[in-house]
Structure 1
Amino acid sequence: MKTAPLIMGNIKAEVPVIQGGMGVGISLGGLAGAVAREGGTGIISAAQIGFKEPDFDRNTLEANLRAIRKEYDKARQAAPHGVIGFNIMVAMRHYEAYVRAAIEAGADLIISGAGLPTELPKIAGDSAVKLAPIVSTDKSAQVILKYWDRKYKRVPDLLVIEGPKAGGHLGFTREQLELFGGESYDAEILRIMDTVKGYEDRYGHKIPVAIAGGIETAAQAAHAFSLGADAIQVASRFVTTEECDADIRYKEAYLKAGKEDIVIVKSPVGMPGRAIRNAFMEQVLSGKRIPHSPCHGCIHKCSPDEIPYCITDALIHAARGEVEDALLFCGANAYKADRIETVKEVIDSLLPERV
C-alpha cells in the first residue's frame, strides 16, 4: 500500500510516521531528530524534560523551560529541514509556559493530550505552530472540535486518535480498556472519522488524522491507513533503537519482557497506564507506599502527601536505567521487541513500500 506524505497546512513530512512523545527523557532531541531526518515527524516529550539540568531539584520549571530549547536545538541540528514537535500534557502544571517555550524554540507542531487541550489555540495565538489534540473516543473528539469551532473559529491541524493498546497514561477507564479491543475500537475510530468529516465539510479543508496505539508491524500500519488514517503514531518501536535517548538498560527491559509482564497500573494521579512488571511495580501493586523526593510540581491533580509513589521519581529512574526502581511505561506490544534497531530500520519495516 503506497502512502502519501503527511501534510499539515504548509508543513509536510515526507513519511507519514509520527514518533510518539515518551517522557520522562525517553524521546528527547536525539530520537526526535533521527526520526525527522528520515522524513517522519519527530516528537520531544516536554514532561520533566529538564531532569538532567543541575538545578532541576531547586528550580524545576526553569530547568524544564531551558531544556525545551536545548532538546529542540539538538533535534533541529540533526534534521535542519525535518518536522519536529513537542508532546505537552494538559495535566502538567505550568502547561501554558511549556507551550509558549516550545513555540519560542521553533516547534513545528504541538501534540497535546492527558486531558483535552481546550485552550491550546488561545495559548498558541498567532504563531505558526500546528496544533494536534489527542482523543481516544468519539465523545472527546466531538467535545474538542465543537469547542475550538465555537470559541476560536478553527479546527486542529492534525487529530491524533490514541487507542487502548498505547503505552503510558491512557485516555480510557479500565472498563473501556476491556471493552475496546480489535474490531470494537475500529468502530470507534470510524465514528471519530465521521465526526472529523463533518468539520472538514464545514471548514472546506482536510483535517489529517493519525492513528496510534499498538502499531508495530507493516500489517498493523496498513490496517490503520485502511481505516482512513493519514499517518500513524508509533512509540514503543522507537524505544529499542540506537537513537532513543533512554539508557540502554531501559531498552533491554523491553527486550527481556514477556507478554505476561505488560500490565495496567494506576498512576499516582488516578489515570490508568501500561507498564512492564518489575520489582517497583510489584511494590506498587501490593499497595506499598514508596517514599519520594520533594515535589517537582509535575501534574495538577497530585497531592504529594497522599500519593503511593512519585511518578516523576519513577520515570526519571527509568530514563537513567535504574530499571528495578522505575515505572517502565510501554505499549501493549512492547514485549515483541527482540533486538536494538536503527530508526531507519523501524520506519522501513512499518512502511516497506518506501524501501
Structure 2
Amino acid sequence: MNELKPLVIGDLVVKKPIIQGGMGVGISLHKLAGAVAAAGGVGIISSAQIGFREPDFTTNFVEANLRAIRREMQAAREISPDGAIGFNIMVATKHYDMWVKEAVKAGADIIISGAGLPVALPEHVEAAYAEMKESGQELPARRIKLAPIVSSAKSAMVICKMWDRKCHVAPDLVVIEGPLAGGHLGFSLDQLTSYGADTEDVPATYDQAAYDEEVKAIIKVVGEYGAKYGRHIPVVTAGGIYTHEDVLHQLELGADGVQVGTRFVTTEECDASEAYKQEYIKAGKEDIVITKSPVGMPGRAIMNPFLRQIKSGDRPVIKSCFQCLEHCDIRTIPYCITMALVKAAEGDTEHALLFCGSNAYRAGKIDTVKHVMDDLMGEAQE
C-alpha cells in the first residue's frame, strides 16, 4: 500500500489528496460534497443552475440560485463541519460575478473555476470581501482559495500572467483537466482528435503519453509562478482518473493530487437521481461519445434517445430561457442545456443530456463515498 501525502493548499490542509469534481446540474450538491469532505477529501458543489428545485426558478432564477448556493453550503457544513468544501463555478455562465461573491459569503473554502479563463475571479473575490466588511459580516478566519482549471500550458501561462499583472496574486491551486473528463471539455474537437478522440460519433480513445507531456509542461509553468511568489502552488489533475493506479500515475508526473468526478456519481451519497446513476451502470464503452453543447463546446456524454433526437435535427420545444450561458441564443440553439441537465438530475433520462467521464462504463454497482475514497487511496479492503 502506498501512503499518499495530504494536499496542502496554503493554510488549508486536506488529509487526502482527492478533490471531488463539481458536476452540474444538481449532481454534486451538499450530500456528495459533504460526504467527500467528511471522508477527508475536498467536496465540491456545482453552482450551475443550483436553484433548479426552487419553486420560483423559472421566473426568478437569479435569486433562486443565490438562495441555493447559501443553503447547499450550509447543508454540506452540517455533514462535515470541519471538512474542506467549495464550489465549482463556470466562467461561461451569466452572472458569474454574483455566483462567486455568494460562494465567498457562504463560507466556501475554495472556488474552482473553468469553462473559460477565470481572469476576473480574484477581483470578484475582493469585491465580496469588501461587501462583507461594509455590511458588518464577519470575515472568515481563512482566506478562500482560488483554483483555475486549465487544459494546456498556454492557458496556464495566460491565467497566471494575467492574475499576476492585474491583481498581483497567483493561484492557490491549479486544476489540470484532461481530454478524458466528463461534461464540457476545455478542448476543441481538433485538439481532442490529436489526443485520440476520433469524431463526434465515435467513443474517445486516448494517447496517454501525449497528454502526460502536456501535464508536465503545465506543472512547470505553475512552478515558475510559485517561485515568484515564494510558495508552492499545488497542482491536481482531472479526467479519466478511476483507480489507485491512476492516482499514482498522476503523482509520478508531479501532481500533488487528483480531481475525480465520474467515480462518485454511482455512490449512495451522490445527489443525482437513482435513474441517472443507473444509466452509468448500464452504459457500455461504445455508448460514451463526444458531442457538442448548444454553444458549440465539446462535451462527453452517454448516447441516449435525447442525443439521437438532437443528432437527427429534431429540436425540442424551448419554452423559456434561463440565461445560463453568456453566448447562448435561444433562437438558434439546438436544445436548452439547462432543461436537458435538469431532466438528468431529476431522472427523466430519456429526455436528458447525460454528461459523464470516459470511464463511466466501468461502474458496476452503487458504491459508497467512503469505499471510493479508500479505493483511490489504495486503502480499500477486498
Alignment of 1:146 with 2:161, yes or no, is yes
After superposition, the C-alpha distances for 1:18-62 in whole angstroms (9 at most, x for unaligned) are 000000000000100000000100000000000000000110000
For residues 1-355 of structure 1, what are the structure 2 equivalents within 5 Å? 1-125=2-126, 127=129, 128-180=143-195, 181-353=207-379
Distance of 1:86 and 1:200 partners within structure 2: 23
Q: Secondary structure at the match of 2:13?
A: strand
CA distance in 2: counterparts of 1:331 and 1:222, whole angstroms:
19
Give ranges in structure 2 of 5+ residues lacking alignment: 130-142, 196-206
CA deviation after TM superposition for structure 1 residue 353, in Å: 4.3
Distance 1:84 1:144 in 2: 24
Asked if structure 1 preserves the Cα contact closer than 8 Å seen for 2:34 and 2:77, the reply is: yes
Question: In structure 1, how many angstroms separate the alpha carbons of the residues matched to 2:313 and 2:160?
Answer: 39
State the partner residue of 2:138.
none
1:287 Cα shift?
2.2
Indicate if the aligned counterparts of 2:371 and 2:380 stay in contact, CA closer than 8 A.
no
TM-score by length of 2: 0.92
Q: Contact 1:51–1:63 at 8 Å: present in 2 too?
A: yes
CA distance in 2, matches of 1:291, 1:272: 22
CA distance in 2, matches of 1:12, 1:203: 19
Q: CA deviation at 1:97?
A: 0.4
**Structure 1 residues 254 and 175 mapped into 2: Cα distance closer, same or farther (>3 Å)?**
same
The total of aligned residue pairs comes to 355
d(CA) in 2 for partners of 1:32, 1:9? 21
TM superposition shift of 1:153 = 1.1
Question: How far 1:354 sits from its partner (Å)?
Answer: 7.9
State how far apart, in whole Å, the 2-side matches of 1:164 and 1:330 are: 12
1:202 deviates by 1.2
CA distance in 2, matches of 1:317, 1:263: 19
CA RMSD of aligned residues (A): 1.0
SS in 2 for 1:125: helix
Q: 2:82, 2:372 → 1: CA distance?
A: 21
| Residues 293 and 313, structure 1, Cα contact 8 Å, conserved in 2 | no
Between the aligned partners of 1:353 and 1:94, the Cα distance in structure 2 is 42
Matches of 2:213 and 2:368, distance apart in 1: 34
Greater CA deviation, 141-150 or 287-296? 287-296
Deviations 1:64-89 (A, max 9, x none): 00000110011000000000000000
Structure 1 SS opposite 2:299: strand
Residue identity in the other structure for 1:4: K
Where does the alignment leave 5 or more consecutive residues of structure 1 unmatched?
Answer: none
Kept in 1, the 8 Å contact 2:94–2:324? The answer is: yes
- CA separation in 1, counterparts of 2:191 and 2:151? 10
Equivalent position SS for 2:357: coil
Partner Cα separation in structure 1 for residue 25 and residue 271 of structure 2: 10
Structure 1 residue 288: deviation in Å?
A: 2.0
Range with greater deviation from structure 2 (176-185 or 259-268): 176-185
Amino acid at match of 1:139: K
Tell me the distance in 1 between the aligned counterparts of 2:227 and 2:41.
28
User: What whole-Å deviation, never above 9, does each CA across 1:155-197 have from its counterpart, x for those lacking one?
Assistant: 1000000000000000001111121221000000001011111
| Cα distance in 2 between the residues matched to 1:111 and 1:197 | 19
Q: Deviations over 1:199-218 (max 9, x none)?
A: 12211110000100010011
Question: Secondary structure at 2:296's aligned position in 1?
Answer: coil
SS of residue matched to 1:265: strand
State the alpha-carbon separation in 1 of the partners of residues 79 and 185 from structure 2.
31
Structure 2: distance between partners of 1:339 and 1:119: 41
1:131-151 CA deviation, whole Å, 9 max, x = no partner? Answer: 000000111001001111111
SS where residue 329 of structure 1 aligns? coil
Q: TM-score, normalised to structure 1's length?
A: 0.98
Alpha-carbon distance in structure 1 between the residues aligned to 2:225 and 2:98: 30
Letter in 2 for 1:207: I
- Identity of matched residues, %: 58
The list of structure 1 runs, each at least 4 consecutive aligned residues, that deviate by more than 4 angstroms after superposition, is none
Contact 1:68–1:102 (Cα < 8 Å) also in 2: yes
Give the C-alpha shift of residue 293 in structure 1.
Answer: 2.7
